């Protein structure tokens, strides 16, 4: 499994817009990705720090998404939300323990 964490800083008071964008199209783009296990929008309390956390079955599934037009599409969809000093920065993490999902 591969976990991708894409962090950004949001403009003030943009969570409502981010959720509207998510429910009105962005989520559907994520859901049609082969090999996607989970995807979540996360918010750090009392800050403007945000993250998309996605979990992928295989590295091949993730690499296909990372090189697809869909990745650019979801990133551009949130252009109004991003603080332009805080563009998304992605990190890839491998899962060492094969105990997913937690029961």
* CATH no. for 2-94: 3.30.70.100
Report the pLDDT value the prediction gives residue 46, as an integer from 0 to 100. Answer: 93
Report the pLDDT value the prediction gives residue 102, as an integer from 0 to 100. Answer: 55
Report the pLDDT value the prediction gives residue 97, as an integer from 0 to 100. Answer: 78
Q: Which residues of the chain have pLDDT under 50?
A: 103
- In what helix (H) or strand (E) does residue 90 lie, and over which residues does it extend? strand 89-94
Considering the entire predicted model, what is its pTM? Answer: 0.84
Residue ranges of the domains in the chain?
A: 2-94
Report the pLDDT value the prediction gives residue 98, as an integer from 0 to 100. Answer: 72
Rounded distance, CA 99 to CA 103, Å?
Answer: 9
Q: What are phi and psi of 3, to 5 degrees?
A: -115, 130
Report the pLDDT value the prediction gives residue 28, as an integer from 0 to 100. Answer: 95
DSSP state of 16: H
A 10 A CB-CB count for 29 gives: 17
């Amino acid at each position: 499994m591969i976990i991708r964490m894409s962090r950004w800083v949001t403009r003030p008071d943009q969570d409502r817009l981010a959720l509207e964008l998510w429910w009105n199209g962005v989520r559907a783009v994520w859901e049609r990705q082969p090999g996607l296990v989970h995807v979540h929008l996360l918010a750090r309390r009392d800050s403007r720090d945000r993250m998309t956390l996605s979990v992928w079955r295989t590295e091949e599934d993730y690499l296909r998404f990372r090189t697809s037009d869909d990745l650019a599409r979801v990133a551009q969809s949130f252009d109004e939300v991003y603080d332009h000093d805080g563009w998304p920065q992605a990190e890839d993490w491998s899962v060492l323990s094969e105990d997913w999902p937690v029961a």
